[in-house]
Structure 1
Amino acid sequence: MLRGGAVLRRWMVDAGIALAVLVAAEIAIATGNEDGSVDRDWFAYLLGVAMAVPLLLRRRYPTVVLYAVSAVLLLFYALNYPGFPPALVLAVPLYDAARAGRLWWAVPVPVFFLAVGAVVLIVHREMPPLELLAAFLPQATTLAVAVLLAALMRSRSAYTAEVRHRLDQAERERELEARRLVTEERLRIARDLHDTVGHAIATITVQSAAALRLLDAEPERAREALVSIRGTGKAALAEMRATLGQLRSDGRPGSAGPDLRGRGQAERDTGLHPLPELLAAVQAAGLPVEVNSELSGERLPAALDEVAYRIVQESLTNVLRHAGAAARAEVLLRAVPDSLWVEVRDDGVGAGAGGTPFGGRGLTGMRERAEALSGRFEAGPRPGGGFQVRAILPRNAPEGTSPARETLEGGAR
């Protein structure tokens, strides 16, 4: 919708154009001189006014205005007043009608006037062809320029509208992509929370059970189990704070600090480098773990490093939950030229590392992490008993934070 100022400007432009046509028409009527015509009178000047007034509605009813002006002009000629060139009053409404897309309605009007004028001059005045061409060429050229200019402006307006539409569409697509990336990042954070809380609770549950059994018979070992429980809880709490710090960032000025601090903590506490602490906590909970690694201190891309660690963490957590007593676990980290193989095996007799019968989301979360890096994931019972989790992760995973995390953090910055 147009605002009041824009509407006023349009009316002023239309009034100025109508006034200019009115002045030109009245001058043409006053100075007209044609053999055999009747003398001009007040009605002739009134017809000049009638040719200009419809132009006040040129934007709303362009075709109607063109035919109204044409009808008044035709009446003026029919009354045998001294004629003047039709392009004088037809150029503006012809331009408006053509620009409004009514070209096939507009073109017959100038063709009709030029054809009738040519017939009159040839039949009644016997004007030679060259003089006829000289008389009508300027008029035909003026009307043709009006039509071509209208077509040009219409094409330009259509192009501008198309560009604006594409820009709006691109902006909407960017917003949708940003929302999708933020949603993916929040799902990643939810998986991190699931892994962190699940591992901590499983480890604490097993350690607390061991502490209760040893409390009277072997108080020193019970004390060690309680200390391990405390360490596991503190580590889980620190990682939860780091993860939740990203969720608290909502783009407000005061929220950037927690997000950036949380990101730094997450970078320190995720990846394969804290694997020894994880193994120590799991072994303290009573699960023997053997690690076979071919990495030899090799530095992996951050995204690959974190996903590999989370898969190991979740797999060992599920072994604690479901593999049963006297189970053993084995972690294999195999490096090949284009990928990293992560395998976690156990020889337990429980429901399996995925915990599928218990409705958990362990396997789903690990599969989502692997597929986010365009990797492969498989899990299932082993032929000789126990359970196995295997992830094949491409080694060309991007360094640093993911696009989704950058999108989420961009709001905080």
Structure 2
Amino acid sequence: MSAAEKPTLVERFVTLCRRNPVVVDAVLAALLLWIAISWTLEGKVARAEQGAALVVAVLAAAPVVFRRTHPIPAAVGTAVVAGVAQLAVPGLVAALLLPALVMGYSAIAYGPRWAGAVAFLLLVAGATMPSLLRLLTRPAGDPPLGVSLWLLGFPLGVAAGVWLAGSLRRASFRHTEGLRERARLLEESRRQEVRIELLAERSRISREVHDVVAHSLSGIIAQADGGQFAARRDPAKAVDVLAGIADTGREALADVRGLLEMLRDSGVDGVADKDATSDTAGRPQPGTDDVPALVEQVRAGGLPVDLVVTGTPRPAGTGPGLTAYRVVQEALTNVIKHAGPGTPAHVRLEWTDDELIVRVRDEGARGPVPRPPRGGHGLTGMRERAALHGGSVETGPHPDGGWSVRLRLPLATHRGEP
């Protein structure tokens, strides 16, 4: 913290007072008691009533200690003391005046809304009642009517001033509390947005890891199974299979390293662009143009798969293109895992004026079906990818047998993308 940002001595004192309201109000109560005692001993109370005045001053000032922490009980305590004292010994106004005004202000400023009206009425009654009684019982012409009206109006004005000051303090306090609550809500909203962004990024990376690792491992397993069979009949073919396994493993390792670099080099918010044109290693993200190479790679791994493209291919945008590629990759991986590496599969890309339709289906298992691993998230990942770009994924049994995956991606909103 720089010297300009350090709080001043006054600011530190104000902060300390706000953190210890009872201590501050205890000092205020002691000050009010000292003033009441001084007025009493100076002759503002008759000598015969000074003892009672000192007791009343202590009882009236004591609740001031809790005027902010417990405003209503404290105000009721002072009001009871003042009422009893006025009825028993009417000449003790000097011992009650300041504590009553302070507690009336505190009840209006810090109490509930209804307390403001009640405190104002009590202040008006306590301030004007002695003058009103004097006015009603005065002898003719003593004191003059104008003086009596002044004695009645001045206390009323004081009560109105206390009510106004308390109301303004209450409004200021409520405004400050509203600003603090708004700041708290804004901070909480910002934290929620960051949390949502982090969860979305975690989900995106999870999909990438699943697509890369699951596809590569499924291909390696299929090639390894085929290599075991080929090694018995044609050792030279087994060498080619092992070379394919090594290539697939290297590609998977490079993709995983790219994902780890993306995690390591994310921005300060930890969120990367979901439609980034390349990963952090500088390799462009795959798209629809890379689907033929993907099909060829899977075919080389032992899965009989063909590709048919209809319509006029055109740039689909980085995000939709990557989605189409990953859906084809995941669907073919599922064919290997669930139907077996010898099951014929078909990939079809249909380009229309406003959307791209991707269909992947297999013809059903031709032999023993391998036991797939449990706990996969491939279908969920495909649907999440499609939903990010306004598309949808439908999966289910095909009428001619086997399993079918259909992806629909709108293209109209992506024509302006590079």
Q: Which residue of 1 aligns with 2:336?
A: 320
Classify 1:148/1:185 alpha carbon distance in 2 versus 1 (closer, same or farther; 3 Å): same
SS at match of 1:315: helix
Structure-2-length-normalised TM-score: 0.73
2:386–2:407 CA contact under 8 A, matched in 1: yes
Q: 1:46 aligns with which of 39, 44, 54?
A: 54
Q: Which residue of 2 aligns with 1:117?
A: 131
Matches for 1:174-213 after TM superposition, within 5 Å: 174-213=190-229
Matches for 1:185-334 after TM superposition, within 5 Å: 185-215=201-231, 218-246=234-262, 263-265=279-281, 268-293=284-309, 298-324=314-340, 327-334=343-350
CA distance in 2, matches of 1:326, 1:66: 89
Matches for 1:72-83 after TM superposition, within 5 Å: 72=82, 75=85, 79=89, 81=91
CA distance in 2, matches of 1:182, 1:22: 62
The structural deviation recorded for 1:203 is 1.7
Q: Which residue of 2 aligns with 1:345?
A: 361
Q: Which residue of 2 aligns with 1:155?
A: 171
The structural deviation recorded for 1:250 is 9.9
SS at match of 1:268: coil
Q: Which residue of 2 aligns with 1:377?
A: 393
- Equivalent pairs counted in the alignment come to 388
CA distance in 2, matches of 1:296, 1:45: 102
Classify 1:49/1:212 alpha carbon distance in 2 versus 1 (closer, same or farther; 3 Å): closer
1:14–1:58 CA contact under 8 A, matched in 2: no
Classify 1:378/1:356 alpha carbon distance in 2 versus 1 (closer, same or farther; 3 Å): farther
Q: 1:59 aligns with which of 65, 68, 73?
A: 68
The structural deviation recorded for 1:306 is 1.9
Report the RMSD for the aligned CA atoms in angstroms.
4.4
CA distance in 2, matches of 1:156, 1:214: 86
SS at match of 1:345: strand
Identity, in percent, stands at 29
CA distance in 1, matches of 2:196, 2:220: 36
Structure 1 runs, 4 residues or longer, greater than 6 Å off: 2-5, 82-86, 248-252, 355-359, 397-400
CA distance in 2, matches of 1:394, 1:4: 62
Letter in 1 for 2:105: Y
CA distance in 2, matches of 1:157, 1:350: 78
CA distance in 2, matches of 1:75, 1:38: 14
2:215–2:329 CA contact under 8 A, matched in 1: yes
Letter in 2 for 1:285: G
SS at match of 1:385: coil
